[in-house]
Amino acid sequence: MNWQSIAKQSLGFFPTPLHLLPALSSQLAGPQIYIKRDDLSGLALGGNKVRKLEFLLGDALRQQANCIITAGAAQSNHCRQTAAAAAKLNLPCFLLLGGNAPSEAQGNVLLDKLFGAQIRWAGEQRKGEGIDVLEQQLRSEGLNPYVVPYGGSDAVGCLGFAAALEELLQQQSDVDEIIFASSSGASHAGLMLAKRYLQSTIKLRGINIDKANHAEQSFNQRIANLASASALRFGLKEAFAADEVCLDDAYLGEGYGILGDAEREAIMLLAQTEGILLDPVYTAKAMVGLIARVRQGCYSPQQKILFWHTGGAPALFAYSQQLLS
């Protein structure tokens, strides 16, 4: 696909590594398990959001924005990477974070501050519900803000993971299934868009990490709509339906950002077999899904299953008591 037709700002180190996890594969005695290392994408200790931000901030520069706004939970990986990207481009960054200001800045909050972001605390609103108010306020002050949506999930942000699947297929084309954390939807939608366009047979299994998604009117439909909107943005007349979305709800645990026994086991298992760190909110839940499905005998020993590591390790430091209790 000719991604050069879409405005893009280089921010990360690509392609990210892809390799086999021999010790984990042996420990689970199932399929061959591979990992795509977006935790090594380069910007702000890595993470998948840099893929979306390359397109989103490219769009921001095209629109001559002079500051960036985004929102997320207190330990948002997306907000941390957005703050870093804005700093790299010398753009002021305003973050609307859920919760209240902590007594001590830890994990991603510490990094947000190091990158110079201006943080506004939003209480129970962790998905950018008040972002339009902040945008209006900044415009009234004479600024021209660019709003990066929650999770970087819009038609532009989806392009990051459409390009990512093409990158993966150039590295290894015989993967049977990709397992990844699915939250705000754009990574999932972008993979779906590229799968259809590239006529790939890879199975996409998004692991739902947020019970709040059930409160929305069909999260599957939202993902399908994002894929359709992104296709249109790229000039493709492709429509996606909700029943095309594979979103696995079986591993939600106790809810968003809550570290349970299954997530703790997943973090410890990958750390102690492969020396790789997961985050407590997203990748741990996705790994819970992979581990459970292998133990349930869902895959044959001949299959190749890819775990897409979307980053987030800095959040571990805010969960030290829960991890070691």
The set of catalytic residues is 76
Count the alpha carbons within 13 Å of 26 in the hemisphere toward its beta carbon: 6
Q: Is 211 helix (H, G, I), strand (E, B) or coil?
A: helix
Answer yes or no: are the C-beta atoms of 209 and 178 closer than 8 Å.
Answer: no
Lookup result for tokens 């998604």: 213
Helix (H), strand (E) at residue 6: none
What does the angle CA 165 – CA 170 – CA 171 come to, to the nearest 5 degrees?
A: 95
The total number of residues shown for the chain amounts to: 325
Burial 32-41 (b: 16+ CB within 10 A, else e): bbbbbbbbbb
Answer yes or no: are the C-beta atoms of 234 and 194 closer than 8 Å.
Answer: no
| Paired strand residues for 181 | 207
Q: Which two tokens stand for residue 131?
A: 């972002």
Q: Which DSSP state fits 94?
A: E
Closest CA to 223 of 201, 211, 208: 208
Which residue intervals of the chain are DSSP H helices? 22-28, 49-62, 77-88, 107-114, 131-140, 158-171, 186-197, 219-233, 261-274, 283-295, 320-324
Sheet holding 93-97, edge to edge: 118-121, 93-97, 67-72, 145-147
Count the alpha carbons within 13 Å of 246 in the hemisphere toward its beta carbon: 11
